[in-house]
Structure 1
Amino acid sequence: MDFQLTEDQRALRGGVRELLEGRFDAAALRGAADSKAPALDRALWRELGDAGFFSLRVPEAQGGVGLGLEEAVLVFEEAGRALLPGPLVATFLAARDVEGAAQGATVVTAVSGGLVPWLEEADVVRGDVSGAVALRSVDPLTPLHRVSGDGGEGGEGGGAAAEADLLYAAEQLGSAGRTCDMAVRYARERTQFGQAIGAFQAVKHLCAQMLVRTEVARAAVYAASVTGDAQEIAGAKLLADDAAVRGARDCLQVHGGMGFTWEADVHLHLKRAWVRAGLGQSAARAEEELAAAL
């Protein structure tokens, strides 16, 4: 069995990365983070729609790209790597049945784990949001509301909930890979006592641990995208959440005092990882599901 990506899958991943680097680069990320109030870039949303981002799993007969969950994971991994803001998962899942979602003309959000991201910017909301209370989100690029319950009628339920969890895990995987790259690059560039800090054993260990967690999560996320098994998806999200959160923390440690500053991008990855970990199935519920299956 060949576990390597196909040429088409590598081309898809490269194309999405090129699009995001050109349209949502480091300067755009900082501009969005530094704004007083987060606002969804509707023009970018439509560009994503034109590029087939949201219609990736819509059948070709319905005007979509007609690809599978494996390709969706690759696309969302790149979105996580770029810290692309917005209710990407909910809009992606609504592309088949909400008019305009596939084209990026309609922004869809959903209740997920009792949280609703980008509620005030959404055109369509899935789930019961009566009594929603605005939260002070730790992530400056993800406004949040909280509702009672974890989804309700119309939210991410059943198979859609499992698919949402996998896509959140793919975003977490992308963020984990990016912070690992950031840590390694900084460890090579930053010097102390006449040598690069990457030569110090403690820094080597941090970078190695980040890489191991990322690659273990990658194997789990990719495997779950092939099987679509709910239990494998639960395990993949647990591993990806851990890789993203702990990876961002370790990246911050490698950066030292600079990592704690607003000017560094490290904290943005950590904050987004915290928020994503709260979306979808909770860690406690995933652990119970996996334990029951043993």
Structure 2
Amino acid sequence: MDFRLTDDQRALRAGVRELLEGRFPRERLRAVVDAGAPVVDRALWRELGGAGFFALRLAEADGGVGLGLPEAVLVFEEAGRALLPGPLVATHLAAGVVEGAAGGRAVVTALDAAGPLVEHLASADAVLVIGDEGDEGDDEGDGAGGGIGVLSAAGLARSARPIRSVDPATPLHRLDLGSRPGQEERGLAAFPADPRSTARLRREAALLTAALQLGSAARTVEMAVRHAGERSQFGRAIGAFQAVQHLCAGMLVRVETARSVVYAAAVTEDAGEVTAAKLLADEAAVRNARDCLQVHGGMGFTWEADVHLHLKRAWVRAGQWQTAAEAEEELAAGLLRIGV
């Protein structure tokens, strides 16, 4: 099996990077962070939709781009590199099911039964609700008790409680999973029973989140290396000191290790490989951001620096879809099955 990128895939990645550098530069990121109450930029969301960001995996006959999960991973990696805010994964997964999601006219967030936190609820039009696996026969058809459904964001917001988020660009709300939605809140859309099972949707969400983490981890390597070459101490660049070199080298190893597993999981779509990809990408994003802070010294901890934003976003994503503890348990169970 060949995991090397094709010329078309490289061109796609370069095109997305160019788009994001032009439409979401550092100044836009800082404006979102400094706003205090971040909301999804609808104009940018529609532009992403027009570029095929959300419809990337829809068939051309359905108005999509007709590409696959490997291409989606490349696109989400670039979004993670730019720290692009918003419920990107949920809107991408809902394309073709929620009206307007594919073109960026609708913002869709997600509620996973495994964790009751919802990001960007105030900016969303709809909420993709994923219930417990094995409970897909939910007689309500709303996903609140099992299976997959789409509910009104405005309806759910009435029973949601805002909580403080460590990431200033990712507002969070906590929802009561035990409450049943009112009649006006259910039935916005229905996912087809086949082939999108609950388990498959969770795997795709975990892998795309891993791609976001991978992009952030790679970006912090670039930031650390650049600062090490520019910052001087004792008459020479700090990058000349072996301790700093070791930090940067370790960061690069984490990124390349995670990248190989994330890319492979996108090709195979194997559940175990997706779990390993999420685990390694989370570790790379969090630990690289911490090491990048060390390279920057006291400057890295200041509000004006961007390093802490990568660390805070990495912490939030590490708790989404599959935590490290859940991934480790799943991988251990897989090894035990092989041993038997």
Q: Matched residues in 1 for 2:102 and 2:305: separation?
A: 34
Matches within 5 A, 1:76-115: 76-112=76-112, 113-115=115-117
Name 2:28's counterpart in structure 1.
Answer: 28
Name 1:208's counterpart in structure 2.
Answer: 249
Name which of structure 1's ranges 111-120 and 207-216 shifts more when overlaid on structure 2.
111-120
Q: Deviations over 1:233-287 (max 9, x none)?
A: 0110000000000000000000001000000000000000000001102221111
Letter in 2 for 1:39: V
Work out which structure has the larger RCO, using CA pairs closer than 8 Å and 6 or more positions apart in sequence: 1
Matches within 5 A, 1:81-160: 81-112=81-112, 113-127=115-129, 128=144, 131-148=159-176, 157-160=198-201
Letter in 2 for 1:135: I
Q: Are 2:282 and 1:254 equivalent residues in the alignment?
A: no
Q: Are 2:315 and 1:287 equivalent residues in the alignment?
A: no
TM-score, with structure 2 as normaliser: 0.83
Larger Rg: 2
Where structure 2 has 5 or more consecutive residues not aligned to the other structure, the ranges are 130-143, 145-155, 182-189, 192-196, 336-340
Letter in 1 for 2:122: E
Q: Are 2:276 and 1:198 equivalent residues in the alignment?
A: no
Q: Matched residues in 2 for 1:48 and 1:7: separation?
A: 22
Name which of structure 1's ranges 140-149 and 25-34 shifts more when overlaid on structure 2.
140-149
Note the C-alpha offset of 1:70: 0.2
Name the SS of the counterpart of 1:116 in structure 2. Answer: strand
Letter in 1 for 2:237: A
Q: Are 2:13 and 1:13 equivalent residues in the alignment?
A: yes
Q: Deviations over 1:107-151 (max 9, x none)?
A: 00111332210011100012245843211001010000123569x
Name 2:73's counterpart in structure 1.
Answer: 73
Percent identical across equivalent pairs? 70
CA-based RMSD: 1.8
Structure 1 residue ranges, 4+ long, deviating more than 6 angstroms after superposition: 152-156
Name which of structure 1's ranges 127-136 and 56-65 shifts more when overlaid on structure 2.
127-136
Name 1:46's counterpart in structure 2.
Answer: 46
Is the contact made by 2:77 and 2:213 (CA closer than 8 Å) also made in structure 1?
Answer: yes
Note the C-alpha offset of 1:157: 3.1
Q: Matched residues in 2 for 1:2 and 1:223: separation?
A: 9
Name 1:170's counterpart in structure 2.
Answer: 211
Is the contact made by 2:91 and 2:108 (CA closer than 8 Å) also made in structure 1?
Answer: yes
Letter in 1 for 2:329: E
Name 2:140's counterpart in structure 1.
Answer: none
Letter in 2 for 1:218: R
Note the C-alpha offset of 1:177: 0.1
Letter in 2 for 1:132: A
Q: Matched residues in 1 for 2:272 and 2:116: separation?
A: 21
TM-score, with structure 1 as normaliser: 0.96
Where structure 1 has 5 or more consecutive residues not aligned to the other structure, the ranges are none
Name the SS of the counterpart of 1:111 in structure 2. Answer: strand
In the alignment of these two chains, the number of paired residues is 293
Q: Matched residues in 2 for 1:256 and 1:33: separation?
A: 22
